[in-house]
Amino acid sequence: MATLESVSNCVVTGNIGAVGGEVQALIDGGVAPADIINDGLIAGMNIVGPKFKAGEMFVPEVLMAAKAMAAGVDLVKPLLGGDDMPSLGKVVLGTVKGDLHDIGKNLVGMMLESTGFEVVNVGIDVAPEKFLEAAKESGATIVAMSALLTTTMLAMKETVDLFKENGMDTKLIVGGAPVSQEFADEIGASGFAPDAATACDLCKELLA
């Protein structure tokens, strides 16, 4: 029988073939989409992280886990709704220069969309100039940057500085596992959130 734990296991073992069936069974059984994401898919990724760090899992296995996670997320995403809500505002979202991690970023994007924000996802390895260009082009009021490597957090400061140099009043927010409120304050960002749900609250606060 499919359970949140079996979904989590599919992520940990990178079982791309099985994850869809397990997630669909939970959906059919009436489990809330947010629970499938938080207590199934993310719970699995929370097991993968420490294993990777401890050298018990390697890059190819983590990639399989990431793909299994994405396959699960794809099934849940349409259920989060938000399509017919009026837009709360436009957010440019990307992973900073030098950083290729996108699972957390995409979750933030999904939650923002389901809350009613319009999201311009500019992808991974996004240089400060590209964030600026995207913000100007889209007229976004918020730029959200993600970083998972301590080394790429510096690109967040470069981006904040570039926006200031260009006289932009766009709100810049930051997130990702190594990022903290303290770091956000230090680089002059408008805000930080530790997870996707709080990121939505933060964006609403900034536009209030």
Binders of ligand B12 in range 86-125 (CB under 6 A):
98-105, 107-108
If the CB atoms of residues 22 and 94 are measured against ligand B12, the closer one turns out to be 94
Instruction: Quote the least distance from Cβ 156 to ligand B12, whole Å.
Output: 9
**Rounded Cα distance, 161 and 164, in Å:** 5
Contact status, residue 11 vs residue 48, Cβ threshold 8 Å: yes
- β-strand pairing of 118-126 with 142-146: unpaired
Q: Per-residue string for binding with ligand B12, 144-163, x by CB under 6 A?
A: xxx-xxxx------------
Query: Does residue number 7 form part of the binding site for ligand B12 (CB under 6 A)?
Result: no
If the CB atoms of residues 22 and 102 are measured against ligand B12, the closer one turns out to be 102
Q: Per-residue string for binding with ligand B12, 14-53, x by CB under 6 A?
A: ----------------------------x--x--xx--xx
Residue with tokens 């938080």: 38
DSSP string, 2-28: --HHHHHHHHHTT-HHHHHHHHHHHHH
SS3 99: coil
Instruction: Quote the least distance from Cβ 58 to ligand B12, whole Å.
Output: 9
Query: Does residue number 128 form part of the binding site for ligand B12 (CB under 6 A)?
Result: no
Burial of 78 from C-beta contacts in 10 A (0-12 / 13-18 / 19+): exposed
If the CB atoms of residues 27 and 70 are measured against ligand B12, the closer one turns out to be 70
**Rounded Cα distance, 82 and 109, in Å:** 12
Interacting residue ranges for ligand B12, rule: CB under 6 A: 42, 45, 48-49, 52-53, 59, 62-63, 66, 98-105, 107-108, 144-146, 148-151, 173-178, 193, 195-196, 199
